[in-house]
Amino acid sequence: MSKLKHFPEDKDTRKVILEKYADEMKLRAGWIVSEANQINESLRHRQSPNSIIRQAMNLLGNAIVILRIVDPIDAGAHKDEQERTKERVELIRKRWPGIPQDPPSGLREVRNDYEQFDARLDQWAAMADINTDPILGQTDIHENLRRFEKDTLYLWDNSVNLSEVVQWAQQVDQAVSE
């Protein structure tokens, strides 16, 4: 790795900083497992779909935080932010090489839909005459924008298997705990 631009050159200081990233990933991984357990419990007790989707969205939000920490793809709009992210990811992956290289299939795409939800909703609203056609009847808008089936969370036109997200988060947790 070349000279650092965004992180300290001092190894001890850098180690303390990287441990903060590890602590956050461990915390989020724990929350992901907790949300997955709550989803399973909610399914067993036949709780409302709205409650289950809320839990799935919480799980997704925590996975997105981990993904943004360890994944350089779609790092940001500004060059400085992209450079800082790339440098951080290189340092983290060098420190913890056991972190999975690739996230679960669909997580990046769902992350984009999640993070740009307002823009997606604006696009949907711009086609209101199509989206509110009488053929659709009394369809709940929330069911059209997001839904949960079996282990899969659908957000707009993308989906991610939440069991795979949980497994990935546990692998990240294990890697940064070593």
How much is the pTM? 0.84
- Per-residue pLDDT for 4 more than 70? yes
User: Using one digit for the tens of pLDDT, what is the confidence trace for 42-78?
Assistant: 999 998 888 998 999 999 999 999 999 999 887 666 7
Instruction: Quote the CA–CA distance of 90 and 17 in Å, as a whole number.
Output: 14
Residue pair 162/61 in contact by the 8 Å Cβ criterion? no
Total domains in the fold of the chain: 1
In a domain, 113, yes or no: yes
Rounded percentage of the chain residues whose pLDDT exceeds 70: 87
147 is in which domain, residue-wise? 11-177
pLDDT-derived band at 22, boundaries 50, 70, 90: very high
In a domain, 6, yes or no: no
The CATH number of residue 148's host domain is 1.20.120
Residue with tokens 């546990």, as numbered in its chain: 170
Instruction: Quote the CA–CA distance of 176 and 95 in Å, as a whole number.
Output: 8
In a domain, 2, yes or no: no
Residue pair 66/29 in contact by the 8 Å Cβ criterion? yes
In a domain, 124, yes or no: yes
In a domain, 3, yes or no: no
Please report, for residues 83, 135, 143, 148, 157, the alpha-carbon distance to residue 132 in angstroms, rounded to integers and kept in the order given. Answer: 44, 8, 14, 22, 18
Mean pLDDT, rounded, for 103-123? 83
pLDDT-derived band at 88, boundaries 50, 70, 90: very high
Continuous H helices in the chain: 11-44, 49-70, 79-95, 107-115, 117-126, 128-131, 141-145, 162-177
